[in-house]
Structure 1
Amino acid sequence: MLSPASETTTESNSAQMAFPEPQYSLVIETLACPEPKYRGVLRHLLHQLCFQAGAGIPEVVTNLGDTDTEVFTREGEDAILPCGLGSPVNLKDEVFDWKKKQQEVFFYEKGKDYNHGKRGQDPHFWRRVHLLPGGLQAGNASVNLTSVTQADGGVYSCYFPRRKLTRWIRLTVVVEPRLRLEVVEAPPSSGSVRLSCFSRGGQQQPSGLEWQTPNGTVIPAEEAPPAASSDSDGCYSISQTVKVTEPGNYTCLARQQGVHPAVRGTIQVFVNWQSLTGDHEEVFWNGTNNALCVLSILSIMLSFGAKMYKCCAKKKNSKEGIV
């Protein structure tokens, strides 16, 4: 039997780390495009290492295309677009311009920007782009883009006109899949149920689904899951079914290629009625036995009500002198 409500959350193993202002430039080059299973890990490590809010930004060059850095964020969350000179020089008297193709994203000139007197910002980015607190003093021209949507995805440029220097940043907005968890089979008195996890909606190729027990142990699938399929909108779907024999909270994790965090859904399986005879425990999982239980209770209530009615009628007749 299931809890009517199952919850879907996001698992993130990223640790928030604070780094001192760098005293050197860090250059990371990949001579060949890494395998897909390692590419997402590389991007995640670069993001965690180099682009923490308020810290100085070391120069990071990755051979992942025509951009200096690549940033992943989930739709609806904020994204930090990294930019810096590679050294902790004070940028308060600098001039730099953020653009997305021909769209004006953010412009800064000696203490003034689009949030403080400057005009010309594209309406799409109005009140959504901010400098990081204390960033300029640390040589950090990074900006925080709030409430990211699919329309925000693409390549951004951070240009320093006085230095003739441009940084390129690619923002990828991740659309998370939605999970549907349900019981697909619950034979009466079998002491087991089959749970199904169906994932749909992610626009990144899924790397698979994984069921876990309440203590985190991976549950092997009964059969090899079918390959993920995509619809006309480019959204992927995949499903997996497992058999469980114990009550508790079971978790399904959906992972996407190139995206480090996983989407997880939890469903509760519990014993809703038991018949104990000696050492034997008979577990009823399906709705038929629930109905029998309810009918039995109703029968008892009706029988009790009939007896009460007869008793009251007898007392009333006695008071009126009716034999």
Structure 2
Amino acid sequence: MELLSLVCLFVLAWSARTLGDETGPAVIKVTVEEGSDVVLPCVLSSKENLELNLFDWKKDPQKQVFMYDAGCHYNNGRSGQDEQFKGRVSHFPEELRNGNASIMIRNTKVADSGNYTCEFPHLQPERIFHIQLVVGPAVIKVTVEEGSNVVLPCVLSSKENLELKLFDWKKDPRKEVFMYDAGLHYNDGRSGQDEQFEGRVSHFQEELRNGNASIMIRNTKVADSGNYTCDFPHLQPKRIFHIQLVVGACPEPVVTTSKESNAVRLHCEARGASPKPEVQLQDSAGNPVPAENVTVTEKKGYYDTILFGYVTKEDHYRCVVQQKEICHQINSKDIWINPGAASEPSITTLDQTKDWALLQCAVRGASPKPKVFWQDSAGNVLPAKEPEITERGDSYDIILQITVTKTDKYRCVATQEEINHQIHGEDYVHLSEFHSGPTVAAVIFGLLFVGGVILLVLVSKGVINLNCNKDQQGPTSFSSNSMQPSDQDPRQPLND
């Protein structure tokens, strides 16, 4: 890893080397975290052998950092090195023959920040490199999933008892997260805590005696992400810890499919992710599927990503969501896709009477060429018309019609033996509900019904009276209003 870092910095040195005073000295900027080791680059483009030459490293600009003179240097007896760098600086002896005068500073401190020079006073022309070193405070990175509890660490290496001390937690950097002062803190009446953290932050009371000022944040939210500090303002020397919290959210993505010609369209949706993810479709080998129409929308720190792609070969496919910032990855469930597999046949009733129905089955975009046939509910294969077959490239459209003469459930089956695939569609045909005209019985019933209705209307209006003489033997007599009952012989004239 050190060699890799060294090579990278050599490239920086090469690109930023001083070429003269016309444009001013080129400055290479190197940034590291406190406590890490760092290489300050200094490489001659001429690759001149330096084993018998002199180069001198200084800081700001009087402090002697490292001097090498024909094999004699500060680590093998030479005097004059500044106390700040004693025992912490080394060079690369095997690289001297390649013009490499770079040095490594181990266990960097914030005080090491500053401007360094690497000078070759005996070269003609004289050469000098300028490097700016920035040593930042060590940052502890903590990542969690949204909704979980998280501990932000802050422990003194001295394990000094903190029960009567002060420590203060802040975020970004003004929000008050948690303050403890000799037993008084935000959870027992102290005011000033930011409302974002009210009721959600606690410390570890029993651990204070061991120098542990860590806190726990419960039910984390994406909004809790940020830079935190744990400060001991009254300690000597003053101590401050830096913690970066990243709260991530990423539900499992969802993939849907649709058949289009001889390809399958994969549609991936990854919603509610934070931080912003990278989303891609992949095959079983992890190769990306080219994506189209990628849309990303953001709302309150959450990202929705939607994309789709087309696949034309048989394989398992998935949608992969990566959040490199929090080293998180989540995949959708694998979907087995065979673009050539026939989709469910479409069944249509083209015509129907009381005695028969004409059905049509359509299978489109299938590859290899399928066999299509009709079955009844008992699984019997039914005779059908000759299929209509259309070939488009490597895929086939097949239309098969059949005339059925009885009520039943009918099935259209598509079989592709080469890929061991079979699929079917079903439709129920009910013929008894269809009639060409009224039957004789229906006509007689209709006439009787109409006659009955007319009779009831005439009776209700008094046009016809129905009299029933209980004392008379024989059939009941009917009369109209114009004909009254009489004992007179109808053949005799009426009396005046």
Q: Compute the TM-score of the two structures, normalised by the length of structure 2.
A: 0.38
Report if aligned partners of 2:147, 2:221 keep a CA contact under 8 Å in 1: yes
Is 1:259 the equivalent of 2:398? no
1:260 Cα deviation (Å)? 0.5
Is 1:168 the equivalent of 2:242? yes
Amino acid paired to 1:252 = C
Q: Where do residues 31-180 of structure 1 align in structure 2 (5 Å cutoff)?
A: 31=38, 68-100=139-171, 101-132=173-204, 135-163=207-235, 164-176=238-250, 179-180=253-254
Report if aligned partners of 2:319, 2:331 keep a CA contact under 8 Å in 1: yes
**Structure 1 residue aligned with 2:36:** 29
Q: Where do residues 9-28 of structure 1 align in structure 2 (5 Å cutoff)?
A: 28=35
Q: Distance in 1 between matches of 2:326 and 2:305?
A: 16
1:182 Cα deviation (Å)? 1.0
Render the CA deviation track for 1:175-217: whole Å, top value 9, x for unaligned.
Answer: 5477341103265xx7x8443324466465544525354xxx4
Q: Distance in 2 between matches of 1:60 and 1:72?
A: 25
**Structure 2 residue aligned with 1:209:** 280
Q: Compute the TM-score of the two structures, normalised by the length of structure 1.
A: 0.54
**Structure 1 residue aligned with 2:422:** 283
1:125 Cα deviation (Å)? 1.1
Q: Distance in 2 between matches of 1:30 and 1:303?
A: 87
Render the CA deviation track for 1:54-92: whole Å, top value 9, x for unaligned.
Answer: xxxxx9999896673333334433333222223444433
Report if aligned partners of 2:255, 2:318 keep a CA contact under 8 Å in 1: no
Q: Highest CA radius of gyration, 1 or 2?
A: 2
| Higher alpha-carbon deviation: 118-127 or 272-281 | 272-281
Report if aligned partners of 1:221, 1:242 keep a CA contact under 8 Å in 2: no
Report if aligned partners of 1:75, 1:173 keep a CA contact under 8 Å in 2: yes
| Higher alpha-carbon deviation: 132-141 or 255-264 | 132-141
1:127 Cα deviation (Å)? 1.0
Q: Distance in 2 between matches of 1:152 and 1:99?
A: 12
Q: Which has the higher strand share?
A: 2
Amino acid paired to 2:187 = N
1:255 Cα deviation (Å)? 0.8
Gap change, CA 1:179 and 1:61, over 3 Å in 2 = farther
Of structures 1 and 2, the one with the larger relative CO (CA 8 A, separation 6+) is: 1
Unaligned runs of 5+ in 2: 1-33, 40-106, 111-133, 345-412, 435-496
1:104 Cα deviation (Å)? 2.3
Report if aligned partners of 1:203, 1:236 keep a CA contact under 8 Å in 2: no
Unaligned runs of 5+ in 1: 1-26, 33-58, 307-323
Gap change, CA 1:240 and 1:135, over 3 Å in 2 = farther
Q: Where do residues 292-303 of structure 1 align in structure 2 (5 Å cutoff)?
A: 292-293=425-426, 295=427, 298-299=428-429, 302=430
Is 1:245 the equivalent of 2:330? no
1:128 Cα deviation (Å)? 0.5
CA RMSD of aligned residues (A): 4.6
Q: Distance in 1 between matches of 2:328 and 2:141?
A: 16
- Percent identity of equivalent pairs: 25
1:149 Cα deviation (Å)? 2.8
Gap change, CA 1:205 and 1:126, over 3 Å in 2 = closer
